[in-house]
Amino acid sequence: MTDTPLLDLTGLTKAYPGVVANDSVSLAIMPGEVHALLGENGAGKSTLVKMIYGLVKPDAGSMKMNGEAFAPAEPRAARAAGVGMVFQHFSLFDALTVAENIALGMENAPKLNALSQQIRDVSDTYGLPLSPDRVVGDLSAGERQRVEIIRCLLQEPKLLIMDEPTSVLTPQEVEILFKTLRKLSAEGTAILYISHKLEEIRALCDGATILRLGKVVGECVPAETSARDMAEMMVGTVLQTPTRAGKTPGEVVLELKSLSAKSQSAFGMPLRDISVEVRRGEVLGIGGVAGNGQDELLAALSGEMLTTPGMILFQGREVGLLGPNPRRGLGILTAPEERLGHAAAPDMSLTENAMLTGAAREGLEKGGLLNWGAARQFAEKIIAQFDVRTPGPGNAARSLSGGNLQKFVIGREVLQRPELLVVNQPTWGVDASAAASIRQALLDLAENGTALVVISQDLDELMEISDRFAALNEGRLSPPRPAHDLTVDEIGLMMGGAHGMEVAHV
């Protein structure tokens, strides 16, 4: 192996109006190296890889590939130079087969038969079980990701960029992916691995570059650095771990009895026979890969979706046929996953968004007439108590950053003194310090006797705050188990193991 880096970035700078996304970033990747790019949301990771992949042109700085100048004008040029990229969001057509999808993305696609054979070869070589004839619409998220990876591998890249690849995978699927990546690395393919999951990076990567606010703030060898140290480099401050006092849960607040319901959307997942109890002061964590019934469960609890009587009992009372506002009146509050458009109306002010769910419980409405002065005060209270960074309550929801809007949305429900709070992905896309404060707020709420249901795809988060853990898989909820003595393997099995493994052996 030579000493020439495969990819050498020097002083890359890219500015957007009002923000410097990358400020003279330098980094080098050796052939066969698995290099982590670490940073919070908005640290500039995406901009950096977009420059390498030819999607964005740098304002200043230079890139070298194998010692030669490298300035891809478009992704095609980057691919020709040997750069492959697997995006976080897949670009696949549901109605087409795996082979057809892959053919669509290729410049000179071979005949489908030949391509299918190539796909099988790559899939065998790298231990990525996938049949080329299957329709993409039927695949799990993990399998879809394999389609994207195989699509890249067929181009025989020298550098493979992976953007947050494990966010949609079960622990078992992560293991399969890591084996593949290690094999690729052993063959000399360099991998640029973007993530904020520190344990993964420690297990997989040879080197790491840490970005904060567009600048390189540190480099480290992940295996020799603790996750906590890396996190603190990433955030720039010392992290507070959420704390709580031990306590015994009180009486049952929410009881689901064989909850079954069809999804309201055509491609949704029906809920199947879900039975569980949540008690006062208890946090029930619900994990699972996205699309396994999370949205439907939240809708059934919030009242957006009505259910057959007798399936949802709140403090012993049947509530399955009550709409969202009567449930709020009883003390059932919810915060959906999608901030813009579901939990909040993007173009409306924070005052109006405070009115959105606060009208009944906060006394912002009398006989149908709205009290905007009181709504404004409520919005200001949320902004002050949850440290929402915004010029004021008159600003539109969409002008807030994701983390700030999330603090507002969670704060809005927490401040209404819920008896039962259901949240879906409470810290999705939120930076580490905001996530910590949101989790603390949830734990404080449980401390004061609220029953909590936290639906999340972040297992670390669930392990941190849950008393009991259950997993959603294909619309079914596994029996809940105490969270403190669960291992990662057990959680993975509760989540349904490795989706689609059986295909490999057909």
One of 145, 180, 185, 302 touching other proteins (CB under 8 A): 302
- Site residues (CB under 8 A) for other proteins, limited to 1-60: 16-17, 50, 55-57
* Residue of 223, 290, 370, 384 interacting with other proteins (CB under 8 A): 370
Q: Which stretch binds other proteins (CB under 8 A): 118-126, 195-203, 307-315, 353-361?
A: 353-361
The answer to whether 252 contacts other proteins (rule: CB under 8 A) is no
Q: Is 425 near other proteins (CB under 8 A)?
A: no
Closer Cβ to other proteins, 223 or 370, answer by number: 370
For residues 305, 306, 310, 311, the Cα torsion angle rounded to the nearest 10 degrees is -10
Quickly list DSSP for 120-152: HHHHHHTT----TTSBGGGS-HHHHHHHHHHHH
Q: 41: left (phi > 0), else alpha (psi -120 to 50), else beta?
A: beta
Contact predicate 290/428, CB 8 Å: no
Locate the DSSP E strands across 201-279: 207-212, 215-220, 252-261, 271-279
- Do 157 and 83 meet the contact criterion of CB atoms below 8 Å apart? yes
* Residue 418: φ, ψ to 5°: -70, 150
Residues in contact with other proteins, shown as a per-residue x/- string from 397 to 416 under the rule CB under 8 A: -xx-----------------
- Report, in Å, the least distance between residue 120 CB and other proteins: 35
* CB of residue 279 to other proteins, shortest distance in Å: 26
Q: With beta carbons less than 8 A apart as the criterion, state whether 421 and 335 touch.
A: yes
Closest by alpha carbon to 158, among 30, 25, 58?
30
Strand partners, 259: 274
Neighbours of 274 (CB within 10 A): 24
Applying CB under 8 A, the span of 127-135, 272-280, 302-310, 448-456 interacting with other proteins comes to 302-310
Q: Binding segment for other proteins among 61-69, 129-137, 393-401, 444-452 (CB under 8 A)?
A: 393-401
Q: Does 246 bind other proteins (CB under 8 A)?
A: no
Residue 63 interacts with other proteins (CB under 8 A)? Answer: no
Nearer to other proteins, 316 or 368 (CB): 368
Q: Judged by CB under 8 A, does residue 423 bind other proteins?
A: no
Instruction: Please report whether residue 348 would count as binding other proteins according to CB under 8 A.
Output: yes
Q: Which stretch binds other proteins (CB under 8 A): 108-116, 211-219, 336-344, 487-495?
A: 336-344
Residues paired with residue 206 on neighbouring β-strands, in sequence order:
none
Is residue 466 a contact point for other proteins (CB under 8 A)?
no
